[in-house]
Amino acid sequence: MVNKVSFTIVDVFTDTPFEGNQLGVFTDARRLSSAQMQTLAKELRFSECAFVLPAERDGHARVRIFTPSEELSFAGHPVLGTAFVLASPMQLGVINLETASGTVPVVLERDGTSISFGRMSQPHPHVEQYDRVGGLLVALGVKRSVLPVETYRNGPLHIMVSLSRAEEVAALSPDMVRLAAVVGDACVSCFALDGTRVKSRMFAPGMGVEEDPATGSAAGPLALHLSRHEVIGWGDEIEISQGTEIGRPSKLLARATGGDDENGTIEVGGSARLVARGEFII
């Protein structure tokens, strides 16, 4: 029996087609097994793909998220991109998407009938010191991190490395084999701050993603990291530029409010553009 599976391609954290972070959204994944979802994500080879299922708790829909090599409990650009795809025909102002890390509300803004911007409230990450700093810095090819190297887990594990200048971030050329050996399937975010503007690059070779164009799940922890270390104030919004070095420039907005505990809020926002629709025959 032939099974046709429809999908939409969305460029996330950009308002320009063919920039930002590519996402495949499978809007009806009810007939797909976990193995088939993983195979489809591997076939598309985007950083992540999102598979939409009926809600089980308090959301409008449930989303499962796969990289080319594994399933994630949460990721930022799949949640935001899926919100744009689903909420547009539903005419929702807020859409609640269930993930394995909890239900994520996404507040949407419209320009006429089209969605122009979305802002999600992310799960609060668990924070720890990172204990393999020496090997990490060698793999990245840098001498030091300006701020303490810490990990933030909100689904994926994010390691934060702070550099002095945007030019240093742009010039990074990590040893990907060594980096994967040191950090495993963690995501390494290298960044430099200038006021409230951030230059960032994210490397996750152990997850099959050597460099990510826009990392929504890292943007919230980055705002929290900067606030915790008093580099910016609580509630200050940062504008993150990412993806230029791989030809996919992206812009993410993020802020952490309310302090460093579970009562605080972490918000990440951006735009998205629908660029294609198609179907797989499996």
Positive or negative: CA dihedral 133, 136, 137, 138 = positive
- Tell me how far apart the 2 most distant CA atoms of the chain are, in Å: 59
Name, in order, each residue with C-beta under 8 angstroms of 94's C-beta and a sequence gap of 6 or more. Answer: 105, 106, 107, 108
Identify the burial level of 113 via C-beta atoms within 10 angstroms of its C-beta, where 0-12 means exposed, 13-18 middle and 19 or more buried: exposed
For the chain, where are the alpha helices, taking DSSP H only? 34-44, 76-90, 133-140, 166-170, 176-183, 216-228
Quote the CA–CA distance of 242 and 12 in Å, as a whole number: 12
Are 277 and 26 in contact by the 8 Å Cβ rule? The answer is no
Which residues does the annotation mark as catalytic?
48
User: Which residues, in sequence order, are CB contacts of 235 under 8 Å at separation 6+?
Assistant: 255, 256, 257
Distant-in-sequence, close-in-space partners of 191: CB < 8 Å, separation ≥ 6 = 160, 161, 162, 163, 169, 198, 199, 200, 201, 222, 240
- Amino acid identity at 274: L
For the chain, percent helix, then strand, then coil, each to nearest 5?
A: 25, 40, 35
Q: Say how far apart CA 172 and CA 201 lie, in whole Å.
A: 9
